Structure 1
Amino acid sequence: MENNMIKDITVRLALLLILCLLPACIKNDLPYPTVKLYITGMTVEGQVGDAIISNEERKVTVELEETVNKAKVKVNTFEITEGATATIAKDSVIDFTTPYDVTLSLYQDYTWTIEANQNISRVFNVAGQIGSAIFYQELREASVNIPKEKGLGNIEVTDLKLGPEGSTYNGASGIPTLEWEKKGAFAMTKVRVAYSDFIDEEWTLYVNLTDVKVGINRVDAWTKVAWIDGFGREGENNGCEYKKEGDTDWIKVEDSELTHDGGKFIARVVHLQANTTYVCRVFSGDEYSEEVTFTTGSELQPENYSFEYTSGTSPLYLYAEGQEMWWDTGNKGSSTMGKNVTTVDTDYKHTGNQSLLLSSQFVGIGSIGKFAAGNVFAGKYLKTEGTDGILGFGRPFISRPTKLKGYIKYNCGVVDKGGDKIANGQNDIGTVYVALTDGDGVAYDDGSKWSCIIKTKEKDRQLFDKNASNVFAYGEMILNESTQGDGLIPFEIELDYKATDRVTTRIVIVASASYYGDFFQGSTSSKMWLDDITLEYDYE
């Protein structure tokens, strides 16, 4: 009896011990949700313009006034994804002399980089100089050329600015007295540049003798426009002439098409012919440069730009049987619910038999589904993930147009599928935009390459960024109300170029009846008609 009682107590204690230890053996195998974290806004003390935020590169770029101490920049505002934390906050003081990494955290960590650019406007002019000064910021050197016959006996500095506005030079405001040391074909001098308590630098200035008094640095030939970068003697009559190869008479570029910076100047030559070879030269006073030959590019247009060719029914595609796709839409996704958000319409058109109709609508059954914007883009709908899409933006392209033109009609609906981007009851927003990109492109899983890859799924969201490093020209049209009249009206969008010498590899053209369609927000009554979408290659 007693043995049985002892055995029973032992069993009970063993069971109790197992129950106590059991929770420690249970693993939490439920994964944390994946939430991408973003910096949504930022301002700093002494900032110029708005911060440029690239979600794709996880990078924020701010521009600073030249008088700001880059090593001690105060953060005025810092906004991030709701619920996330960051390694900096409002009122932090950051050293932006090198790119600054910030970690955003929620369920995962995401590293962002904040970069501050600071452009100090520098000037070094001497009387009779040729072209403009060249600045070597890292070496703290500046160099300018003068004609050989002028000599180095009487160097007159007419303007000097090597630091922020208000800097002193050799302890004085304005142009100091300089002692030049002659070294054969050049002369040099030292200047101490000081500003506030954070700039104290020694710069070396060079004045060089040269036999070359006029010349061409570079020609950027587009299709009907060319940019000729020349130099001459400051104070002389500087300009540019051009002609078709083989012609006798030179054509002088109008003064209104010239921009001058000391002895350096850029001539914009307009109204050229595509695929044509020209000869150009620049002049300074009575002297002319050597002639330079250049050839203009091709006048390319989007394929199926009048949207006359289609195939299929669900989804409807914007190319005929046997043709290759150039345009695509969200139809591949919406057709899974038996709807095309983009169709054609014979009632409204500019030329041909039909126009393209972009119809924003709810796509689903009953209350199950999503709002979808009527849309069209140069690229391809790559994949559907659940109810979200993955798109490739951008088609191969080599030309540099000046404008996107076309015909449009927009019926602006009242938002009934609102959210955090646009509220119910507001007018919807339509948009058309165009961009040029360079570089090798962004690769997708199948090996195809695009200007960018769009992902609409919230946790992986990746949208087009006009400030991305590969975008060098961009223009857009925003429609906040319905267009006037019953039919299509003409529109044009001028491309704003960051540089004239970057070479196009792809073009992006996108139109949407609902601006916030990527966030599944807008009006189910918004409609946009488009026809004859073409590119212009000249300036007026």
Structure 2
Amino acid sequence: MKMRAIYNLLLGAAVITLLQGCIKNDIDYPQIALSITGMQVEGQKENAVISEKDRTVTLKLEENVNLRKVHVTKLSVTEGAKSTLAPQDIIDLTNPYEVILSLYQEYRWKVIAQQDIVRIFKMANQVGLSEINPDTKVAIANVRKNTKWKELDLLELKLGPKGTTYNGKTEVPELKWTLYSNYASAQVKVQYQDFFEENWELRVYRKDKDVEMKRADGWVNVAWLYAEGIEGSDNGFEIRETTTEEWRKVDNSYITADGAAFSARIPHLKEQTTYVCRAYSGEDYSEELPFTTGIAKQLPNAKFDEWHLKGKVYNFWAEGGEEFWGSGNKGASILRSITTPDGTNTWNGQTGTSVKMESMYAVIKFAAGNLFAGYWYDFAEGSFTDGHLKFGRPFTERPTRLTGYYKYTTGPVNQMDKDSDKYDELYPLLKDKDDTCIIWVALGDWDAPIDIITAKTSSKRKMFDQNDPHVIAYGEFTQGKTINNFEPFEVELEYRDTNRVPNYILVVCSSSKYGDYFFGSDQSVMWVDDFTLEYDYND
């Protein structure tokens, strides 16, 4: 009997376990994207750079911060989320630090430290800039060819944070130079407090020439020249077309010096022309370097006089012509086009058309009138209101600015989507304010047009990022007041590099700056007309 009772008990437990395993969990937990919305640590130089796409927080830190012991002073996350990191924690940022946010699901974020130490190695009679490699711990300087090894003179040295010692001294140390076949070498022990210690090698070579032409970047009407010579000498450039032997000295007003390095921005050059340039430092000249300028290419249908109507949708190219400009009309066409040609408003009052962009509440969602280089792709997956756009058209020239004409009617911001995860950020910014229009331009070396998805949540949304490493140049123009008559506008492009060649150009106009997030005024109307890309700089 006792054995039977035990058997029945075990059998009952097994049945219960089996039944529990068969119970289906029908609870669908909401999927809420969890984010780090703000972070600050001791020794932080700038605001944290937060990437929703990569789920990273990048912190730029002062050079004297101990990366192994970073003190977190502030941290904010999505409301309701739990975080494995908290204010007052001490964390090690020598490698990316993982933070787990959890609510119904877990989201893994990484905190990344950027610590740039200003390093200097300068010798007497130095030619050009030093090469300092923090990975190999080797610093190299070149001196003039007539410099004697026994007269090497170290002028300045900084290889660690301010206050670092070099061979035990805070001032410029006396070095013991060892001679090799073609250079001299010295060893330096670099220490800062109790957490920074490195062993460096300093090398000095003799240079055959006092000046070296480093690079020439030819744009269209502008060229950028770079060279290195003797600091404090008469440094400059000469230039000529290949069709003439006459050299022209570059005006000093175009030249910028940074120690032994100097550069020039030369305007007013001819397009599609080959030039030769050379640098000089004192009496010495560099080798000659050729470059060729590009062509002053303009945007297709930049006067906006070509358009056609297909169904309810206005398209801004001639029927059967080149498709360059896109709009959100396909997304808003359930009601009507919000971007239209306007033959009654042109910048000069003559025949032709401008583009009229209206912000309005379209059926169930606020929509801003817009025009962009690219095309409407489709509605976002699983949505009939969120748009999926493609920004960018192929383009390889380097303009200096976009000009044109615009006028604008603004209104109070009365459309604010409370369901948007941007509401808490944008509401205090736009409350009791008038709407703002925007025109922006970007050039970049992307391999394809950029995906743009307008959505209420960051987990579904994709927006243009000015900090994208593919961006070569960017500029924007905004206006928050009513402009009754057409006025000229100018978007000056700020380049991050002069030698990178773009693959795509992005031009975007919107009657509501924050329309992508469904914020703006349903009274805002913007007109644009007669765009021109310029390729020169003023003196």
1:451–1:221 CA distance, 2 compared to 1 (3 A): farther
1:270–1:161 CA distance, 2 compared to 1 (3 A): same
Amino acid at match of 2:516: D
User: Which position in structure 2 is the counterpart of 1:145?
Assistant: 142
Q: CA deviation at 1:413?
A: 0.8
CA distance in structure 1 between the partners assigned to 2:531 and 2:74 by the alignment: 41
Taking every aligned residue pair, what percent have the same amino acid on both sides?
44
Secondary structure in 2 aligned to 1:75? strand
User: Which position in structure 2 is the counterpart of 1:278?
Assistant: 275
Secondary structure in 1 aligned to 2:416? coil
CA distance in structure 1 between the partners assigned to 2:108 and 2:325 by the alignment: 35
User: Which position in structure 1 is the counterpart of 2:193?
Assistant: 196
CA distance in structure 2 between the partners assigned to 1:320 and 1:197 by the alignment: 71
User: 1:47-446, aligned counterparts within 5 Å?
Assistant: 47-313=44-310, 314-336=312-334, 338-351=335-348, 352-364=351-363, 369-384=364-379, 385-419=383-417, 420=423, 421-422=426-427, 423=430, 425-440=432-447
User: Which position in structure 2 is the counterpart of 1:15?
Assistant: none
Report if aligned partners of 1:128, 1:235 keep a CA contact under 8 Å in 2.
no
Q: CA deviation at 1:138?
A: 0.7
Report if aligned partners of 1:393, 1:454 keep a CA contact under 8 Å in 2.
no
The answer as to 2:497 corresponding to 1:499 is: yes
1:281–1:401 CA distance, 2 compared to 1 (3 A): same
Deviates more, 1:95-104 or 1:185-194: 95-104
CA distance in structure 1 between the partners assigned to 2:46 and 2:277 by the alignment: 38
Report if aligned partners of 2:236, 2:279 keep a CA contact under 8 Å in 1.
yes
User: Which position in structure 1 is the counterpart of 2:473?
Assistant: 473
1:71–1:347 CA distance, 2 compared to 1 (3 A): farther
Q: CA deviation at 1:21?
A: 8.9
Q: Deviations over 1:230-270 (max 9, x none)?
A: 11123321111111111232222222322223322222222
Secondary structure in 1 aligned to 2:79? coil
Indicate the RMSD between aligned Cα atoms, in angstroms.
Answer: 2.3
Secondary structure in 2 aligned to 1:488? strand
Report if aligned partners of 2:388, 2:451 keep a CA contact under 8 Å in 1.
no
CA distance in structure 2 between the partners assigned to 1:216 and 1:511 by the alignment: 41
Q: Deviations over 1:122-153 (max 9, x none)?
A: 11111111101000111111100112222212
CA distance in structure 2 between the partners assigned to 1:177 and 1:19 by the alignment: 83
1:273–1:81 CA distance, 2 compared to 1 (3 A): farther
Q: CA deviation at 1:117?
A: 1.4
Q: CA deviation at 1:98?
A: 2.2
User: Which position in structure 1 is the counterpart of 2:11?
Assistant: none
Amino acid at match of 2:479: L
Q: CA deviation at 1:407?
A: 1.3
1:52–1:403 CA distance, 2 compared to 1 (3 A): farther
Unaligned runs of 5+ residues in structure 1 are: 1-17, 441-448
CA distance in structure 2 between the partners assigned to 1:81 and 1:479 by the alignment: 32
CA distance in structure 2 between the partners assigned to 1:271 and 1:134 by the alignment: 34
CA distance in structure 1 between the partners assigned to 2:510 and 2:193 by the alignment: 51
Report if aligned partners of 2:35, 2:78 keep a CA contact under 8 Å in 1.
yes
Q: Deviations over 1:465-507 (max 9, x none)?
A: 1111212221122323323xx3111111222222222220111
TM-score (norm 1): 0.89
1:260–1:452 CA distance, 2 compared to 1 (3 A): farther
Report how many residues are paired.
509
Amino acid at match of 2:435: D
Report if aligned partners of 1:44, 1:74 keep a CA contact under 8 Å in 2.
yes
Secondary structure in 2 aligned to 1:189? strand
CA distance in structure 2 between the partners assigned to 1:143 and 1:460 by the alignment: 49
Q: CA deviation at 1:363?
A: 0.6
User: Which position in structure 2 is the counterpart of 1:461?
Assistant: 461
1:250–1:20 CA distance, 2 compared to 1 (3 A): closer
Secondary structure in 2 aligned to 1:303? coil
Secondary structure in 1 aligned to 2:47? strand
Secondary structure in 1 aligned to 2:45? strand
Report if aligned partners of 1:129, 1:144 keep a CA contact under 8 Å in 2.
yes
